[in-house]
Every structure is written in C-alpha cells, then in structure tokens.
Amino acid sequence: MPAEAASSGAEPPGAPRERRRRRGRGRARTEALLHTLKRSRRVKANDRERNRMHHLNAALDELRSVLPTFPDDTKLTKIETLRFAYNYIWALSETLRLAEQCLPPPHSCRGPPAPPSPGSDAGSWLSSSSPAPPSLCASASGPSSPATSEDCAFASPDGLRGFRGLPPPAAPPGAPCR
DNA sequence: TAGGCCATCTGGTCCT
DNA sequence: AGGACCAGATGGCCTA
C-alpha cells in the first residue's frame, strides 16, 4: 500500500508541528483502515470456511444416508462414518469377489447377485445371508494389514457393528470357495 | 466432572 | 491478490 509506505518514512527535520500532527492522524487513519480491511477479509474468510465445512458435513450426511445403521436412528459420528464407509466398501467388494469366484462357468452364469442398495435391505444382507468377512476388524493401513485391538474400537460380536471398525485382512487370492 | 464430539475462528500455506 | 485447504485453539453441549 503506497499510502502506508509514504507515511512510514522518517519525518523531515524542521517540519511544522501542525503538519506532523496531521501526518500522525493520517497514519492512525490508514492503520484503522488497514485494520478494518483486515477485519473484513477475516470475516469473509470465516464465512467461506464455515460454508466449506457445511459442504463437507453435507457430503458426510450423504455418505451416512447410504450406509446402513442399527438402529436406524443412530447417527454415526464423523470418524465412525468414514471408517464404516471404508469397511462397507471393503465388504461389498469382497462379496463381489467371492461371488465371482464361486459362480459356475460363464455360459450358465447369470452374473453375481446385485448387491442390495445399501439404503434398503443392506442390514439383513450384511448381518445374515452374506458371506461374512472372516473378521471385521483390522488396522487402518489397509485391508491386507492385521487387525489390532486399538483399531477395533467399534468391533463387537453382533454383526454389523463390527463394520464400524476397520476392515479385515483380505482373503488370500485364490482362497478356496465353499 | 471428565471426556468425546462438534462448530467456529484463526493464521499459515498453497494454488490460480 | 484472493480463494481453498489445513491444522490448532477454543468454547459449548451432551453423556457416562
């Protein structure tokens, strides 16, 4: 800002008092202006940030809406939602993989059963009739990593709740089909 | 009351 | 320069 640069220069010797005072007032004024400018920028930035977080939360809500929860009115926390989604995707892809492995030859194949829409029947699909994953808990480092008790925060004996934890290690490739 | 979760503010950094 | 993104700080609310 040129105005401020000018005002920050050294006062020339012998400048009349009145001029000096005026200059001082001018400086105070530009500082106040600068302050309000900064303030208004901050307020705008806060507004954007709030908006951004609202969008993030909306996306998180959308994600929640496609995840099965038990009971239905349970609202997953943010971290639970992310972990659960991770595991849910893992479980779905694992189911798909197993289905493909176990299917008869292609000519008689009708294709793997379409996974139910998570919003509808996902609960029963996950809790009973699906090929349940060997373990519902593993470390965050990926499906192939071993489970740790710490990562198992949400694992529990009753079916789905385990999905809130981190996913189990993937079955070894070519694992026998039952 | 402690601990968990959340929203908001804030300053820093990176990108366009 | 301005916006997006990020992480830390702070304070409020809720629950065990």
Q: Strand B positions with any atom < 7 Å from protein CB?
A: 4-12
Q: What is the DSSP letter of A119?
A: T
CATH topology of domain A31-102: MYOD Basic-Helix-Loop-Helix Domain, subunit B (4.10.280)
- pLDDT of res. A97: 94
Q: Is the CB of A45 under 7 A from strand C?
A: yes
Q: Is the pTM of this model over 0.85?
A: no
Q: Give dist(CA A60, CA A55) in Å, integer.
A: 8
Residue pLDDT, tens place only, A84-99: 999 999 999 999 999 9
Looking at residue A36, its pLDDT comes to 84
Does the pLDDT of residue A62 top 80, yes or no? yes
Q: Is the CB of A48 under 7 A from strand B?
A: no
Whether A54 CB is under 7 Å from strand B: yes
